[in-house]
Structure 1
Amino acid sequence: MTSPATICVIIAANNASGTIARAIRSALREDRVAEVVVVDDGSTDGTAAASRTAEDGSGRLRVLSLETNKGPAFARNHAIAHSSAPLIAVLDADDFYLAGRFDRLLAKNDWDFVADNIVFIDGRGQVVDPEVPEFEAAPRFLDLRGFVEGNISRPGVSRGEIGFLKPVMRRSFLDAHGLRYREDLRLGEDYELYVRALLHGARYKIVHGCGYGAVVRPDSLSGRHRTLDLQRLYEADRAILATPGLPKESAAVLRRHECHIRGRYELRRFLDIKAEAGTWQAGLYALRNPSAIPAISGGVAADKLAAFMAHRQPDTANPSPLRYLLPATAAQK
């Protein structure tokens, strides 16, 4: 029996002509996908034309174009506004779904958001569908504390990269609570949306089976955050912290995340000043902002250590082994 097509896949794409067709085809091969909406976010490389080459004749693909770059949050909201399927799935333009993802992911109906494991694929080699083991589902539900703490880096401790998860979302839940991506964010727009959803009581389910392929490239946009992007993200935390009646435990963990992001901002601001005006002016900035000194000194030390380790283990053209976002156990045969 064929599963009902209930999913809209939304793809925000900017200068992704080399990867967008692969992403679209991976979505269209899924029987549960009712529509794929691509928003060409002000591209200059023919992304829209490349998207249309992936049309499979089913009429499920729609390509929308923005004249200027508005950022992923605006593009995703635009896609949501121009779609109607009851479930919404996000796909990045350089990533792809593993075959059968949604049949596995939607096996049960006890969630408002549901996400699965991610396999990270080295983009320096030829990118093909990886052979991924069948993992135990081991379903669990994320609460606000677990989600936010999963987005805070700690020296020597893996944070689980929870913010990279790509959940399927119920449109009815988003609409009931007036939830959309915050369009002034170009970093952490997913994190901010999921935090607000969890505060509204979203049942955020995680299964450890793997259905999403994330391609890791040295020139990825996610590795080129602006100082302003970090500032807007910690300001977004502050806006949520100003919510009347916010539970104390929720406020405490959000303050930790705000402090973490603000520390990253202070380091980036220090380095910007150093590059633009020299070490002396950067030092004066630190002295005028003594609360930022621990973040600056710790960040500089961490950067030097990372550079040293990279020098000892230089990057090569050989693809790295597969790694997974969430720890998982192979299913018993």
Structure 2
Amino acid sequence: MQSRGELVTEPEVCVIIAARNAARTIAVAIASALREPEVGEVVVVDDASTDDTAKVARAADDGSGRLSVIRLDVNGGPSFARNAAIASSKSPFISILDADDFFLEGRFRELFASADWDFAADNIMMIRDDAATDVSKITAPRFSADPEFLDFERFIEGNISSRRVQRGELGFLKPVISRAFLDRHGLRYDENLRLGEDYELYARAVACGARFKVIRSCGYGAIVRADSLSGQHKTQDLKRLADADLALLAIDSLPEGSKAMLRKHERQVRDKYRLRNFLDVKNEKGLTAAAAYALASQSNLIPIVRGVAADKLDALFRRAGFGSKQPVPPRRFLMAATSPVGEA
């Protein structure tokens, strides 16, 4: 890694884009990565798309020789695709970019302004699909960096969501990652996960001692789509994520406070799984089978009753005109931030 405080001017970053059926958006993502002078490689992994993702990606090449496209014949999921890209790349730093997102200009200049980190993430501007007419013209407000380092407990706590609050878990962050740190600790994405794979990698890295730096200035644009693949997870994906928490709990070096927070996250994810599974059983086998599943244990019954009651109450309030589904704003930021002193 470069010396503390030294600004990176030579290409050092490999941008990894795992893509499936992303022909509509992949060119914008690639262009935003190739625009950044710190980017030495852009590796697109077409995860067995059924559209022209690979063809569109290759057509987005700027002629600099930095773009490569890998085509997978069998869908392996985002973790498998990202691990394949990491294996094929050589740069000392790795940056994940989702296929329907983009970098804001100058992103890496801000992140590489200092070198006191193993993971470095910035704020994310979350933009509603119909508000992203021309992403090349989108700019973020100038926020103070307000750097902080996440410890394990703080990171896990930042991934526990609240009902009726727009999601903003820290697992959504897209940090630049030191390859040396990953290699030193034998870390890669868990290929059993198709939900929360970023969260699991970051949590395991912080448990291994990663210096995870977060700044509030914004360099990443995320397009919020109703048909996003990340919003279409299966019931079993929730179970696998809860099981990943149990595996993290087996790390002996974690202090008890961190384990307590991890258990809280595991219970939340597990309860979501139990409710979703109850609804699946009801749809597939009928109410009697679903009731038998709910009554099989108190661990099943409590989150199912609580979840069904909350859903029914929300529906009742909406019909009565006392509440409505919280609208998605045209733009919002993952983390609250302030402008520098003296600026509006």
Q: State whether TM-score is above 0.5.
A: yes
Which amino acid in the other structure matches residue 331 of structure 1? P
TM-fit CA distance, 1:321: 2.7
Which amino acid in the other structure matches residue 38 of structure 1? V
Residue of 282, 290, 297 corresponding to 2:290: 282
Instruction: State the match for 1:133 in structure 2.
Output: 141
Residue range with higher mean Cα deviation, 1-10 or 284-293: 1-10
Cα gap change, 1:162 to 1:306, in 2 (>3 Å): farther
Instruction: State the match for 1:13 in structure 2.
Output: 19
Q: Provide TM-score, normalisation by structure 2.
A: 0.91
Instruction: State the match for 2:336 in structure 1.
Output: 327
Alignment of 1:240-255 (within 5 A): 240-255=248-263
Instruction: State the match for 2:82 in structure 1.
Output: 76
Deviation track 1:279-316 (CA, whole Å, cap 9, x = no partner) reads 22211110112212221122223334555677765799
Equivalent position SS for 2:213: strand
Question: Do 2:293 and 2:300's aligned partners in 1 also have CA atoms closer than 8 Å?
Answer: no
Instruction: State the match for 1:231 in structure 2.
Output: 239
TM-fit CA distance, 1:225: 1.2
Quick one: distance in 2 between partners of 1:116 and 1:20? 22
Alignment of 1:56-75 (within 5 A): 56-75=62-81
Question: Do 1:9 and 1:27's aligned partners in 2 also have CA atoms closer than 8 Å?
Answer: yes
Which amino acid in the other structure matches residue 31 of structure 1? P
TM-fit CA distance, 1:60: 0.3
Question: Do 2:23 and 2:57's aligned partners in 1 also have CA atoms closer than 8 Å?
Answer: yes
What runs of 5+ residues in structure 1 fail to find an aligned partner? none
Residue of 266, 272, 280 corresponding to 1:264: 272
Residue range with higher mean Cα deviation, 279-288 or 212-221: 279-288
Instruction: State the match for 1:299 in structure 2.
Output: 307
Residue range with higher mean Cα deviation, 281-290 or 12-21: 281-290
Instruction: State the match for 2:52 in structure 1.
Output: 46
Alignment of 1:142-291 (within 5 A): 142-155=150-163, 160-291=168-299
Cα gap change, 1:308 to 1:121, in 2 (>3 Å): farther
Q: CA RMSD in A?
A: 2.1
Quick one: distance in 2 between partners of 1:24 and 1:105? 19
What runs of 5+ residues in structure 2 fail to find an aligned partner? 1-6
Q: Provide TM-score, normalisation by structure 1.
A: 0.94
Question: Do 1:150 and 1:159's aligned partners in 2 also have CA atoms closer than 8 Å?
Answer: no
TM-fit CA distance, 1:93: 0.4
Deviation track 1:209-230 (CA, whole Å, cap 9, x = no partner) reads 0110000011111111111101
Equivalent position SS for 2:130: coil
TM-fit CA distance, 1:250: 2.3
Cα gap change, 1:310 to 1:206, in 2 (>3 Å): farther
Aligned length: 331
Which amino acid in the other structure matches residue 263 of structure 1? D
